[in-house]
Amino acid sequence: MACTTILVGKDASYDGSTIIARNEDSANGEFNPKRFIVVRPTEQPRHYRSVLSHVEVDLPDNPLQYTAVPNADTKEGIWGEAGVNEANVAMSATETLTTNERVLGADPFVELTPAKGKPGEDGYEPETPGGIGEEDFLTLVLPYIKTAREGVKRLGSLLEQFGTYEMNGVAFSDSHEIWWLETVGGHHWIAKRVPDEAYVTMPNQLGIDEFDLDDALEDQESHMCSADLAEFIEHNHLDLAVESTSPFNPRDAFGSHSDSDHVYNTPRAWYMQRFLNPYDEVWDGKDADHTPESNDIPWARQPERKITIEDVKYVLSSHYQGTPFDPYGHLGDEHTRHMYRTIGINRQSQLSVMQIRPYRPQSNRAIQWIAYGSNPFNTLVPFFPNVDTTPKYFEDTTTRVTSENFYWENRIIAALCDAAFSDTANAVERYQEKTGGMAHRLIAATDEQVSRLGGENEAKAKQLEDEFEADNLDGDVEPLEPDQIIEVVRDQEVRDVLAAANQTMADQIKEETDKLLDTVLYITSMKMKNGFNRSDN
C-alpha cells in the first residue's frame, strides 16, 4: 500500500500525548472501502490463515479487545490497519517501504509458491505458503500486547519465524513512548524509539538513518533488532559507511535512492518537514538545504512549535500548497504541478490518528481519530476506542456506493470538489473547521462526564493507583501496570458514556457531511455545460 506516516513524540505534541498517524492509500486504479469496528475477544480467531499468502498461525488464548479499520470487502483478507487495544496500546500497520537488491539477495522475501499439478499426479508439488504482511499484522499482534515495546518484540518474533513477502514499517505507541519497526528483507527487522521531543516523517521509503547496533543487541533502551543483524550486515557487506562510524545508517544499507523515490517518496517528507520546521533551514530555491529530491531528509527532527491534531491532518492532506507542485495551485506550470506524488491523494482509503493522553484516566485516555476517502476534502472525527461497538455510520460501509455511510459520502464529495476545486474550497474549509470545533468540544464534554462519574469508579481507580509501586511516570495521572489498565478500561459504566459520545459525534458528523454534500452538489451542478441563465419561472 502506498501510504504516508507521521509520528509525534509526547514532548513534541501540543498536549503531551503520543500521536501516531498514517494515511492508508489503496493501490493505483482501485478503491478499498473501509469500516471502523471493535473486535471482541470472542471474535478474534484462535487459528489464523492469510488470504493472500496462505500462511497459518496459531494464536494465543485470552486476546484483548481492540479496534480496527478493516476492508469492507474481505476477499483479499482483513487488512485491519490501525487500532487501539484495552491496554491503551495503539498500532499502525503498515507503511510500505523500499529496499535494494543486496538486501533481497541476502534475505529474499517469503512468497507464496502455488501448487503444481494435482495430488496423486506424477510431479505434484504442494504449495509453499508465503510470509506475513500488511493484511495480517494488526490481527496477529495488537490483541496480544500490553506496551508499545511488547508490540515490537511480538512482531519481530513473528517475522523471524514466518518471514514476510514485503518491506513494511509499523508503529506502536502507549502513553510513554512510540516505537517504529522496519522490516529488512524476508526475516530481519530493526526498530527504534521515537525521541520524545521529535516527530518522524515516513513516505513509503525505508527511513531510519541512525541506528545504535550495540544498544539494539544489549540494553535495548532505544533500539531493537533481529538477533543476528550484526552478522547479517557484515556477512553480506551491507554497511556502506566509508569509514568505521557510529551510529550505523540503515537507510543507506537497507533502503533505496532510486529515481522513482525522487518523484514518489522524498517530496512528501520534504513538504511535511517544510511545514513543521519552516524557519530552521532554506526549503525552496537554488540555495535550499533540502529539496523534494534530497536523499538525506532526516528521519526525525524537533519541530519549531508543538504539533497539534490539526497539523497532523494538514500535512497528511497536503497537495504541496504554496509551491509550484500543487496540482490545484496557480504557481508553476502544468509540468511542475504534476511532478510529484501528493500526500493527500485521490485513492486514500482511511486516515487514523491515534492519540494516547497521559493527563486523562486510563478509562478514557485513548482517542482514535478517523477520516475516510481523499484527505483534502474530508474531516477528522474522534472516537473513544474502549467501547463495545462503533457507530453504524462508520461501521456499516458497503461495497456499493451510497451516501448513507461516511466512507462513500466522502468519496462522492471528493469527486465533486476535485472537479471544481476553487469553487468548492470555501465550503470544504468551513466544514472542516466546524466539525473540528465540534470534535474538540465533544472530547472535553465527555472527559468532564467521565470525571463526574465519581463514586465507586473513582475510588477503584484511586485504589489501583495507590497499589502501583513504581514512581509516577512522566506526569501520568494514573500510572498503572498493564493488567490494571485493562481492568479499569473494562468499567462498563465508563464504556457506556464513551459509546454514547461516539454516537453523538457520528450523528453530528452525518448532519454536517450531508449539508456539505448538498452544497457541493449544487455548486458543481451549476457548472454543468447544459446550463442556461434564463429562469423557467
Each residue's pLDDT tens digit, 14-27: 999 999 999 999 98
pLDDT at 469: 43
Under the banding of pLDDT at 50, 70 and 90, the label for residue 454 is low
- Tell whether the model's pLDDT for residue 200 goes beyond 90: yes
Please report whether residue 12 resides in a domain.
yes
Under the banding of pLDDT at 50, 70 and 90, the label for residue 272 is very high
Provide mean pLDDT across the span 106-124: 95
Under the banding of pLDDT at 50, 70 and 90, the label for residue 31 is confident
Domain CATH for 253: 3.60.60.10
Residues forming a β-bridge with 25: 348
pLDDT at 1: 60
Please report whether residue 326 resides in a domain.
yes
Lookup result for grid cell 457506556: 496
Half-sphere exposure in the Cβ direction for 113 (13 Å, CA): 9
- Tell whether the model's pLDDT for residue 471 goes beyond 60: no
Burial 443-452 (b: 16+ CB within 10 A, else e): beebbeebee
pLDDT at 535: 61
- Tell whether the model's pLDDT for residue 468 goes beyond 60: no
pLDDT at 36: 98
- Tell whether the model's pLDDT for residue 72 goes beyond 80: yes
Region at 94 (left for phi over 0; alpha for psi -120 to 50; beta for the rest) = beta
Catalytic residues: 3
| CA distances to 133, 186, 224, 297, 385 from 229, in Å | 20, 13, 10, 25, 36
- Tell whether the model's pLDDT for residue 29 goes beyond 90: no
pLDDT at 118: 92
Other CB atoms closer than 10 Å to residue 530's CB: what's the count? 4
The three-state DSSP-derived secondary structure of 52-78 is: CCCCEEECCCCCCCEEECCECCHHHCC
Provide mean pLDDT across the span 91-103: 97
- Tell whether the model's pLDDT for residue 291 goes beyond 90: yes
- Tell whether the model's pLDDT for residue 459 goes beyond 80: no
CA neighbor of 356 nearest in space, from 141, 139, 194 = 194
DSSP string of 226-266? -TTHHHHHHHTT----SS--SSB-HHHHHS---HHHHHHTH
- Tell whether the model's pLDDT for residue 470 goes beyond 90: no
What are 156-177's pLDDT values in tens digits?
Answer: 999 999 999 999 999 999 999 9
Distance CA 344, CA 268 (A): 10
What are 359-409's pLDDT values in tens digits?
Answer: 999 999 999 999 999 999 999 999 999 999 999 999 999 999 999 999 999
Percent of the chain with pLDDT over 70: 95
pLDDT at 384: 98
* Set of cell numbers at residue 357: 493522553
pLDDT at 532: 74
Please report whether residue 99 resides in a domain.
yes
- Structural domain for 383, as ranges: 2-113+128-278+297-429
Under the banding of pLDDT at 50, 70 and 90, the label for residue 28 is confident
Please report whether residue 527 resides in a domain.
no
Distance CA 125, CA 526 (A): 63
Please report whether residue 146 resides in a domain.
yes
- Tell whether the model's pLDDT for residue 46 goes beyond 70: yes
- Tell whether the model's pLDDT for residue 109 goes beyond 50: yes
Distance CA 55, CA 249 (A): 32
- Tell whether the model's pLDDT for residue 66 goes beyond 80: yes
Mean pLDDT across the chain, nearest whole number? 94
- Tell whether the model's pLDDT for residue 464 goes beyond 60: no
Quote the radius of gyration of the chain (alpha carbons, Å): 24
Question: Model pTM?
Answer: 0.95
What are 408-441's pLDDT values in tens digits?
Answer: 999 999 999 999 999 999 999 999 999 999 999 9
What are 205-246's pLDDT values in tens digits?
Answer: 999 999 999 999 999 999 999 999 999 999 999 999 988 777
| CA distances to 288, 355, 482, 504 from 498, in Å | 48, 15, 21, 10
Please report whether residue 8 resides in a domain.
yes
Please report whether residue 452 resides in a domain.
no
Please report whether residue 519 resides in a domain.
no
What are 507-529's pLDDT values in tens digits?
Answer: 999 999 999 999 999 999 999 98
Task: Look up residue 326 and give its DSSP letter.
Answer: -
Number of domains in the chain: 1
